[in-house]
Chains A and B, each alone.
Chain A
Amino acid sequence: NAGVTQTPKFQVLKTGQSMTLQCAQDMNHEYMSWYRQDPGMGLRLIHYSVGAGITDQGEVPNGYNVSRSTTEDFPLRLLSAAPSQTSVYFCASSYHNSPLHFGNGTRLTVT
């Protein structure tokens, strides 16, 4: 049972490049979400999904896109990376009204 798997662990992008951060869970959780963590800011919710085909915006959605075609996968797309998107990104999943299970994070640097 792998839990929540995020790839890659590290990534360096140039400004303007695009990329997709992958997140997969094998617990059949209906809820999945993406957070970014910056020093002194805690975790901020980017986007979340309550089930396949359903996504919604969190606190800081600008510059990011998501889709949820399957229960297991919830990729996060950066369409045109900016230095302000340098951060550590966490994916999490859960059942309704239950604790979140986190992946180990992706450390992204945009130069």
Chain B
Amino acid sequence: SQQGEEDPQALSIQEGENATMNCSYKTSINNLQWYRQNSGRGLVHLILIRSNEREKHSGRLRVTLDTSKKSSSLLITASRAADTASYFCATDLTGNQFYFGTGTSLTVIP
């Protein structure tokens, strides 16, 4: 399977703290994307990082990509209760094939 693996599987933090989750994958990629899923809903795109990029920011989100280690990390700074959700990385192999990891369940305690 091309599927990535997120680590940790579950994360519980206090509001205001930073949350870091990691993604490892198996093969060369075109780009890597992070998605959020609130309970019972579809996935929402957060950020896309291309294979020739090393770091990307969007608001309170920071994503890094290390293609030599086949890994990525998502940092959410100053977390809020509303950030409680599951977070998934997805590797895009060709621009048209997306494979998802197993997800990290984040709980932010008010």
Contact = CB atoms under 8 A, between A and B. Distances in A.
A50 B96 CA distance: 7
Interface string A39-77: 011111100101000000011000000000000000000
A42 B3 contact: yes
B96 A96 contact: yes
A97 B90 contact: no
A70 B41 CA distance: 26
User: How many A residues touch the partner, as a band?
Assistant: 20 to 34
A101 B102 CA distance: 19
A50 B92 CA distance: 13
Given A42-B102, A103-B42, A97 B97 contact: no
B100 to A, nearest CB: 4
Interface core residue of A42, A90, A101, A105 (most chain B CB under 10 Å): A42
A100 interface: yes
Interface string B18-44: 000000000000110101000001111
A92 B45 CA distance: 11
Nearest to B1: A59
B30 A43 contact: no
A105 to B, nearest CB: 6
B100 A104 contact: no
A41 B102 contact: yes
Contacts of A103: 42
Interface of A: 4, 31, 33, 35, 40-45, 48, 50, 58-59, 90, 92, 96-105
Interface of B: 1-3, 30-31, 33, 35, 41-45, 48, 88, 90, 92, 95-103
Given A42-B3, A45-B100, 7 more contacts: A44-B3, A44-B100, A45-B97, A48-B96, A50-B96, A92-B98, A99-B48
The 7 closest A-B pairs by CB, nearest first: A102-B42, A99-B45, A42-B102, A43-B100, A97-B95, A102-B43, A96-B95
